Structure 1
């Protein structure tokens, strides 16, 4: 059942991205460089697929389907974006959001060491984000580096600060 739900969610996400890319023909670009981006994000807790969309030039929505040891986490973020260090291709962003997911039985490594969970449990919590993103001039590629402070509420409270490296295709 989980695999069916995950497959449907990923399919719906890609259909939404395709629809957004077709609808942007006569619209101004989001942050001056691109309106939508799809890519991968790598981190110590989750790595997965990310989608970023700019409804306006300085506001973006960022979604992530993160896969981790024995589980999956869905994260949604609202971000404010601005030029960093007077470099047009470099953007500073910060924001907040939430995550929901599930982790199964097994050993999970984090910065505090390994923990063993005897049963599955739900993940639910609040997220923040602060980072920099560089869009390669003349190429549809964006690279980001960020910190994601988050509080796990369902199985916690538990706080962590997860760094992330993103690589996205922009359009």
Structure 2
């Protein structure tokens, strides 16, 4: 029972942090019959879907992550903070993963030749992002750029499975090799 409460609490906190309301008021708009929605052919569409689907992702660059640093650590830039919970797109390089099938990977501004678990954090640049994948995916070549689109998450987080600590995360919708 305690484990179930922890899981439910984690889900609710995740929804709150990502800006998803726990309940939705009745929608005031309906989808016109001639223009079916992806999810609701002729029914009332939830307001958050239409905004999420219609707004293009905001472009983010690695040099826009932090405004400065202090004795307490890195300080997020105003732009990064304003994009928290929003759909963003960013281009970088997949760091060498531990295994060929991934559920997450580290996105870096420049190609890296070492994996995050094979060296100390002193060898890693500050402006990296952990990319969480919706499904397992095969690793892409780590010397070619990839473009990631997804929801931006900020704040220190420890992955209990791997022990990896991240400040910037992206819940990816898509990961595409740049041609």
TM-score scaled by structure 1? 0.26
Higher gyration radius (CA): 2
TM-score scaled by structure 2? 0.26
Structure in which a larger fraction of residues adopt strand? 1
Structure in which a larger fraction of residues adopt helix? 2
